[in-house]
Amino acid sequence: MDEKFQKYLSKLTCRGCYNHCSLNNPNCGRSRIFIKEAKEKFEKEMKKFKE
């Protein structure tokens, strides 16, 4: 799952500042909240997919 999650994160950008870094390689601490949100959404989608 970790590899799939990293691939998922690579498609998302941080909204914490004007740099809009990829969430799999953030450059600031503000990205943590967006990574947490992405992880929750990812887990929810994976759970739905398994059903």
38: amino acid identity, one letter:
A
pLDDT 10s digits, 1-51? 589 999 999 999 999 999 999 999 999 999 999 999 999 999 999 998 776
Residue 1 within any structural domain of the chain:
no
Instruction: Write out the H or E segment, with its range, that includes residue 51.
Output: none
Residue 26 within any structural domain of the chain:
yes
Residue 14 within any structural domain of the chain:
yes
Residue 2 within any structural domain of the chain:
no
Number of domains in the chain: 1
**pLDDT of amino acid 1:** 58
Residue 3 within any structural domain of the chain:
no
Q: Are 14 and 21 in contact (CB under 8 A)?
A: yes
**pLDDT of amino acid 33:** 95
What domain range is 40 assigned to?
A: 8-50
Take residue 50 and report the two structure tokens written for it.
């398994």
Global pTM value: 0.83
**pLDDT of amino acid 49:** 79
